Amino acid sequence: MSKVIVSSLYQSDVFIMACRQFDKAADAINLPEDIRDRTKYPRRCMAMALPIKRDDGTVTVYEGYRVQHNLATGPAKGGIRFHQNVTIGEVAALAMWMSWKCSLVGLPFGGAKGGVIVNPSQLSTGELERLSRRYMQELIPFIGPQVDIPAPDMGTNEQIMAWMMDTYSNHTGHTDPAIVTGKPVSLGGSEGRREATGAGVAYLSKRYLEDLGISPSQATAAVQGFGNVGSETALALASYGVKVIAISDYTCAIHNPAGINLAKAVEYVKYNKVLKDFQGGEEITNEQLLTLPCTILAPCALERVITPELAPLLRCRILAEGANGPTTNKADTIIEERGDIELIPDVLCNSGGVIASYFEWLQNLQNYYWTRDEVLTKMFTILDRAKEAVEYQKRKYKFSRRLAALTLGIARVAEAKQRRGLFP
């Protein structure tokens, strides 16, 4: 028997949600007690005060975190989120999901996540650069290409990765591109990485449409979130012939039953930063978007948006979780009981991003670069393999698809820990 003494450090709705998912999966596979808590709780975390000079000469101190959940299966891997509502509990939950995600799709990585409590849209480019560099500077003793490899997440992008890579490389004294993934291609970023998460969400949606016998040209989609993941998901779905009837960001949602002109929406957001007042359809609320009748609903924004109140109202055939943790535990149970929605769980659905990150890291270590086609084709192969494994596990044990994915991911991490043993 193991005993765990748990502090309230990570206490938050989203961390409790990730823990409940873990407990359910651990029960379902009878995970031995003496390995459970070791597998479940984050290995270590770092909290940082990040003072930066503002453009007006004043100094603001931001708070940032990095949680390394698992390091037993390789270097920790996961993005960095810049968002005003970041908490250490949220970062810990996201780190946990990175562990199951990397494990499920068979990457030689553990799981981690970082975050800074900041609204990046309120910083100038210079302020954002100073914050990104300071964050990386503080992380240096804690990370490395063989220890922990950050990447973009909500609120961070290629440019931020470039500043972080530069800061780290200045410290080591040589260009060290493998320290972060999601970099610009000119700095060792991978072709295909920028679109990988959305391309993966759309690819898996298409594969599940095939299983349902629905052709993409008969399908409609509603996509929540128009950041990197949401916009690339919408574009990739449209490229398969799916009609995208609604998109949204945090300012509004736009509905057009005839299909949104995505090229115009992308152009609009490039100049206006937000979707508000985009004239490509009727304005609705984000909640209305989630309950629109459509074939594919893809929440690609924040966690916990599919609530127990909304779950009975969903009118999609496929729920493609582009975001991490978009569905609460209770909503999950409701969707399972309904039985009429194919839920593609986050750890499978959005894993295209970290798969392409793995390829980027490999290319950096080998100094040998691949084409976009090679990256995406290899990524789709891994997604197909993971989907097949999940479907097999689901059928064999009569699990929900989420439980099937989580049990596969968790079992591999637990086995690695068991085999490595406890030191000393």
Mapping DSSP to helix (H, G, I), strand (E, B) and coil, where does residue 293 land?
strand
In the complex, minimum distance from the CB of residue 44 to ligand GLU, in angstroms, rounded to a whole number: 18
Locate tokens 């299966």: which residue?
73
Enumerate long-range contacts of 26-31, CB under 8 Å, 24 or more apart. 26/410, 28/397, 28/399, 28/403, 28/407, 29/407, 29/410, 29/411, 31/410, 31/411, 31/414
Nearer to ligand GLU among residue 231 and residue 295 (C-beta):
231
Token reading at 172: 């080591």
Give the separation between CA 276 and CA 282, rounded to whole angstroms: 11
Quickly count helices (H) and strands (E) in the chain: 14, 12
**How large is the C-alpha radius of gyration of the chain?**
21
The one segment of 126-134, 215-223, 288-296, 349-357 that binds ligand GLU by CB under 6 A: 349-357
The one segment of 73-81, 131-139, 241-249, 370-378 that binds ligand GLU by CB under 6 A: 73-81
Nearer to ligand GLU among residue 115 and residue 216 (C-beta):
115
Residue type, 152: P
Are the CB atoms for 65 and 46 separated by under 8 Å? yes
The one segment of 50-58, 209-217, 271-279, 348-356 that binds ligand GLU by CB under 6 A: 348-356
Are the CB atoms for 378 and 132 separated by under 8 Å? no
State the DSSP code for 108: S
- In the set 64, 120, 326, 353, which binds ligand GLU (CB under 6 A)? 353
Task: Decide: is 99 part of the binding site for ligand GLU (CB under 6 A).
Answer: no
In the region spanning residues 363 to 382, those forming contacts with ligand GLU, defined by CB under 6 A, are none
Task: Decide: is 300 part of the binding site for ligand GLU (CB under 6 A).
Answer: no
Task: Decide: is 248 part of the binding site for ligand GLU (CB under 6 A).
Answer: no
Task: Decide: is 151 part of the binding site for ligand GLU (CB under 6 A).
Answer: yes
Give the separation between CA 155 and CA 160, rounded to whole angstroms: 10
Nearer to ligand GLU among residue 91 and residue 221 (C-beta):
91
In the complex, minimum distance from the CB of residue 15 to ligand GLU, in angstroms, rounded to a whole number: 16
In the complex, minimum distance from the CB of residue 197 to ligand GLU, in angstroms, rounded to a whole number: 7
| Catalytic positions | 113
* Footprint on this chain of ligand GLU (rule: CB under 6 A): 77-79, 151, 153, 181, 324, 350, 353-354, 357
